[in-house]
Chains A and B, each alone.
Chain A
Amino acid sequence: MNILLQWAPFMPPAASHNAGNVDNLYGFIFWLSVVFFILVIGPGAWFVYKYRLKPGESHKPTPRITHHLGLELTWSIIPLLLCIVIAVWGFWDFMALGVSPADAEEIYVTGYKWGWRFEHRDGTKELNELHLPEGKKIKVIMTAEDVIHSFFVPDFRVKQDLPPGRYTTLWFEPKGVGEHQVFCTEYCGDGHSGMLAKIIVQPKEKYEEWIKVGTPLAQGETLEDRGKKLYSDKGCATCHSVDGSKLTGPSFKAIYGNPQPLIDGSNVNVDENFLRESILNPQAKVAQGYPPVMPSYQGALKEMDLNALIAYIKSLK
């Protein structure tokens, strides 16, 4: 019952500086709707009860009330005024969401079937993860490679479509540190619901360490463990299964050490070098029976990440 104590029920945590404003209006509309719902359904329910034909009675003549100008004006004008308030309020905050401040850090985002590529100003590339330092305003400049995608961060209350062939932007200022889910919210095909990313906001020192070496292995974490995590975080799982089932790309199960037919008719032995090449330059040798659609991960994986992924693929016997 703590819904009744919340101003903006069911909304996710408000983790950006603008989220609170959106929640204020959401809450205002929510509670206004509750009031209006009661104002409509309350009298309706009362009339249904009060003026029901009781068992055994027959219809009595009802008064022929055809209209009442005052009443009708009241229930037209009051909602109209409230609607104008909401429209202006919504537009006001919409402009605040839309106009990015001049001192915002710029990040380039590309949506593709089915993943997110983030490019920092210093050339660092990331896939399906965006590391950010704490306390910065961030402006994202977005486009799509193939079809329309949409960048949605519920915790920040921001969403913007990425039409191919042009740029759209949005901005946010994360509050504190933490991880935030990114969804694609424009239907884009079979991998639509797997087109996810994480925004990871870190303290400045940790962020700088990450820029240099990537995320160090945790205590007790093996290279295979890390590879497994990368496999799901970096979008490999969208096209490559680990149980042998055929998706857009070949399954990783028992791929290592076995010959792989290619589209040019030749065979290649799957070893570390082939795996490395296929990750960084996928079009060089395309597996037979699969479309040549994999994007390059050049620059998007640190050296250790590559080792970890290859170690994981090797472990799938």
Chain B
Amino acid sequence: MANNDHGHGEHPSFFQEGGKGLMSWVYTLDHKRIGLMYLVSVLVMFGVGGVMALLVRLELFSPGKTFLTAHQYNQVFTLHGAIMVFLFIIPAVPAALGNFVLPLLLGTKDVAFPRLNIFSFYIYVMGAIIAIAAIVMGGVDTGWTFYTPYSVGSSGKVIWMVFGVFVLGFSSILTGLNFIATTHKLRAPGMTWSRMPLFCWGIYATSLIQVLATPVLAITLLMLIIERAWGVGIFDPAKGGDAVLFQHFFWFYSHPAVYIMILPGMAIISEIIPTFSKKAIFGYKAIGMSSVAIAIIGFLVWGHHMFVSGQSAFASMVFSFLTFLVAIPSGIKVFNWTATMYKGSITFETPMLYALAFLFLFTIGGLTGIFLGALSVNVHLTDTYFVVAHFHYVMMGGTVIAFYGGVHYWWPKMTGRMYNEKLARLACLLVFIGFNVTFLTQFVLGSKGMPRRYYDYLPEFQTLHQVSTVGSWILGLGFLIMVGYLLASLKVGAVAPANPWGGLTLEWQTSSPPPLHNFEKQPNTKIGPYDYGVPLPPKKPGTLEGAVHGTSS
């Protein structure tokens, strides 16, 4: 991040202004530095979780023992899931990118509570250390879902891991709280709610879920700890508990958490597509409101993880209907993004390639969700590789791809450097191909009946497993190249201009990287975030904004 020669900017960047040395980072209250510290942390965690994923795929290259024992394999897939969910994907977009760009997009100098912000980062670090301690001291083999009663009796360091996740939850709650307050109180003059960039809408909706749902997870995990440590029978039927109760509690958080993961991804896409299409976003209100709708309905669908758990048929019916209801706002977003490109002036820099990959992958992820929402079909597909493929298309093809789109989109703003565009496009292509090879095959495996979390499998599944494993290598290579050129850009990358992509949101009105207080002068909010091109002639004289209408021009 050394940016000593800030050639274009007259003002020193926050790298210089905030002081030098380790302590300037440890004690910082600057949202940009906190965002970057989060970014480095989540990228490291993505690396660790990614290595676990490669090990899982490698072990599955052949049936029986390839190089891990069943117990080691179970630990590795558990850690892959737990690290990716709790240490990477939940904080990735909101805490890392959100921290850096949300105040910039809102035209303010920092978040509402800077001290709370650095506190939440240190809570994250503490949670991560506890979780990693659990791994080092013997690992966990319960799956990231910690289902009871297995997790009550399992030999691993379940209490440590669960306590780590418990601590991480507070980081998530505090970040959400901070962003809600920031969005309400610190928008630049002239930025009304309806002129707020869609990224902010997405992060706002996400923050609401973080604040409202995470405490439920915290309570659930605490009960699990109490049960394991003191033998109180809450979830273990042998002690008079209810095994399925845990699933209700767990998914009451973890399904909304799916939206904690995907909404910020969608929010990034809503920024990238208009910028690289040089076109006003189509259906601003629909996209913004659908984020809020998803956040609300997302609280009412947790039972769709439990159609075969033994919950009542009536409950299953209600959850199935509500699940289909939540599909509609997601569909609206996809249609709106596509329509935004209509009559655009589209260029294909790396962030746009990620956005297009997102559209492709998320559409598959969403459509395969329809299979799983339908009760009778769900019975066959649930807990098979079909589910594994589906949520990877949503979580990785959706959120992770969007996250890397965002990293590439704001990298010049964050570091003041441009990365090698050719290598970046190559890496994006490899990630896209590798991802599809890895996970399309898993839909087929799942339909054929291959159960998930299997160390060993029947010989008839071998070919598809091998194709999937080869795909994971292509995927890994793509990410390896990405690490290379991103690190290289910090040393040898061209100096980034203030607005490399021609964006209209406020972060592009300040230098790259921005000064400590973000803006030298009050940012101009007269131009809306998506006011590209020319307004259409009004249909009726006298109605200007609202009547800009129609696709017929």
Contact = CB atoms under 8 A, between A and B. Distances in A.
Contacts of B531: 64
A37 B347 CA distance: 23
Contacts of A152: 383-384, 449, 451
A51 B551 contact: no
B149 A62 contact: no
B338 A187 contact: no
B114 interface: no
Contacts of B456: 193-194
B310 A168 contact: yes
Contacts of B8: none
A158 B375 CA distance: 12
Contacts of A131: none
Interface in A82-108: 83-84, 86-87, 89-98
A292 interface: no
A164 B233 CA distance: 14
Contact of B449 (A68, A164, A183, A193): A183
Interface string B517-550: 0000000000000011111100000000000111
B331 A90 contact: no
Interface in A6-33: 9-12, 21-22, 25-26, 29-30, 32-33
A25 B370 CA distance: 11
A240 interface: no
Interface stretch (B12-20, B104-112, B166-174, B280-288): B280-288
Q: How large is the interface on B (under 10, 10 to 19, 20 to 34, 35 or more residues)?
A: 35 or more
Nearest to B69: A190
Interface in A169-203: 181, 183-194
B183 interface: no
B348 interface: yes
Given A62-B532, A66-B284, A154-B449, A44 B359 contact: yes
Given A64-B531, A193-B456, A41 B360 contact: yes
Contacts, number: 291
B280 A64 contact: yes
A83 B551 CA distance: 27
B277 A62 contact: yes
Contacts of A56: none
B470 interface: no
Q: How large is the interface on A (under 10, 10 to 19, 20 to 34, 35 or more residues)?
A: 35 or more
Interface string B260-299: 0000000000000000011111111110000000000000
B282 A66 contact: yes
Given A51-B346, A163-B309, A164-B149, A93 B375 contact: yes
Contact of B347 (A52, A61, A154): A52
A67 B282 contact: yes
Nearest to B376: A93
Contacts of B2: none
Contacts of B536: 63-65
A76 interface: yes
Contact of A12 (B317, B335, B449, B453): B449
A80 interface: yes
B186 to A, nearest CB: 26
Interface string A155-168: 10111110111101
B383 A150 contact: yes
Contact of B332 (A61, A75, A86): A75
Contacts of B458: 181
B335 A40 contact: yes
B356 interface: yes
Contacts of A21: 376
A33 B324 contact: no
B177 to A, nearest CB: 32
Interface in B17-75: 69-71, 74
Contacts of A94: 307, 313, 316-317, 375-376, 379
Contacts of A212: none
A89 B344 contact: no
A259 interface: no
Contacts of A75: 331-332, 335
B313 to A, nearest CB: 6
Contacts of B125: none
B251 interface: no
Nearest to B332: A76
Given A79-B327, A87-B320, A190-B71, A161 B375 contact: no
B380 A66 contact: no
A213 B10 CA distance: 94
20 contacts: A10-B448, A25-B377, A29-B370, A29-B371, A62-B533, A64-B548, A67-B285, A67-B286, A87-B320, A87-B374, A89-B374, A90-B373, A94-B376, A97-B379, A147-B149, A154-B380, A164-B238, A166-B310, A187-B143, A190-B455
Given A12-B448, A63-B553, 12 more contacts: A11-B380, A37-B363, A40-B335, A64-B534, A68-B283, A71-B339, A71-B551, A72-B332, A93-B376, A164-B243, A184-B451, A192-B455
